[in-house]
Amino acid sequence: MRFLFLGDVMGRSGRNAVINYLPSLRQSWKLDFVVVNGENAAGGFGITEKIFNDLIDAGADVITLGNHAFDQRDTLVFINRNNNLIRPINMPEGTPGRGAGLFKARNGADVLVINALGRVFMADLDCPFRAIDREVTACTLSEKADSIFVDFHAEATSEKQALGTYLDGRVSIVAGTHTHSPTCDHRILPNGTAYQSDVGMCGDYNSVVGMDASEPINRFITRIPRERFEPALGLATICGLAIDIDDQNGLAQKIGLVRIGGVLTEETPAFWTL
């Protein structure tokens, strides 16, 4: 199975890049399943129903979220109408939406998608390890799910690496999001799980993690907010992770980086022919 995951979509620039590139990538790479993290898609804070629909129409099968999941208040309502919008599984009981879902890929495979929030340097939520463990135990790889994908939205690289090792061999992919800075540690772990600490963002990299640089710099220097954060509007790079998954056991066979457009050096998976 050919699986593509795109990191945090950051504002208008990131949205436009994903909407422009994804339809042709889906067709030329013959992708079976696409997940996009959309938690910063609406001006850097949350997602609206229109943006959600635009990303789905562009070729995403599932949209995952993160700590900004409900920054747009209407998400509290429309998330219950859209099963393929997944918020972190370890949010408090009673939070609208769901933290995992089983979806059908274009090749007929059943794909379990799980979204979770880290706790190091972030909110004190339920344990993501235990929450994911319960889901993976209930829907085991190669028995009830043909592949399992985990979007771990977390700050600390150590927490992400720990989760990847903890789940190695039990899920197909553990991909980190949230920092907006792509790491170079993408690899297949010893027991067959594809892993990257952070896939990066889909946004303008001539910025401060996707925001126009002036206000973040002001706050670092003066410690006094002057104005609201605004997403940078230059050309975006779409950053993601490409994985070939074994149809027999649901584990990763190949892994490669995706970086297209904008200012970062271009990377595309050599094992998929354009």
DSSP 8-state secondary structure symbol assigned to residue 272: S
Q: Are 155 and 120 in contact (CB under 8 A)?
A: yes
Structure tokens at 17: 């890049």
Is 126 inside any structural domain? yes
The total domain count for the chain is 1
Helices (H), the chain: 11-28, 49-58, 75-78, 128-138, 157-167, 214-222
Query: Residue 26 — φ and ψ, nearest 5°?
Result: -60, -40
Is 273 inside any structural domain? no
Please check the confidence at residue 272 and state whether its pLDDT lies above 90. Answer: no
Q: What is the pLDDT of residues 256-266, one digit of tens each?
A: 999 999 999 99
Is 44 inside any structural domain? yes
Please check the confidence at residue 274 and state whether its pLDDT lies above 60. Answer: no
Q: What is the pLDDT of residues 159-204, one digit of tens each?
A: 999 999 999 999 999 999 999 999 999 999 999 999 999 999 999 9
Is 274 inside any structural domain? no
| % of the chain surpassing 90 pLDDT | 98
Q: Are 245 and 3 in contact (CB under 8 A)?
A: yes
Give me the chain's average pLDDT, please. Answer: 96
Strand ranges inside 166-251, DSSP E = 173-177, 187-188, 194-196, 238-245
Is 117 inside any structural domain? yes
Is 267 inside any structural domain? no
Q: What is the pLDDT of residues 42-59, one digit of tens each?
A: 999 999 999 999 999 999
Q: What is the pLDDT of residues 87-141, one digit of tens each?
A: 999 999 999 999 999 999 999 999 999 999 999 999 889 999 999 999 999 999 9
**Prediction pTM value:** 0.96
Is 251 inside any structural domain? yes
Which structural domain, as residue segments, surrounds residue 149?
A: 2-260
pLDDT value at residue 71: 94
- Looking at the annotation, which residues are catalytic? 68
pLDDT value at residue 25: 96
Q: Are 231 and 211 in contact (CB under 8 A)?
A: yes
pLDDT value at residue 123: 87
Whichever domain contains 191, its CATH number is 3.60.21.10
pLDDT value at residue 124: 87
**Alpha-carbon span 113 to 151, nearest angstrom:** 8
Torsion angle of the four alpha carbons 79, 181, 25, 18, in this order, in degrees rounded to the nearest 10: 50
pLDDT band at 28 (very low <50, low <70, confident <90, very high): very high
- Selection from 146, 190, 175 nearest residue 257 by Cα: 175
Is 37 inside any structural domain? yes
| % of the chain surpassing 70 pLDDT | 99
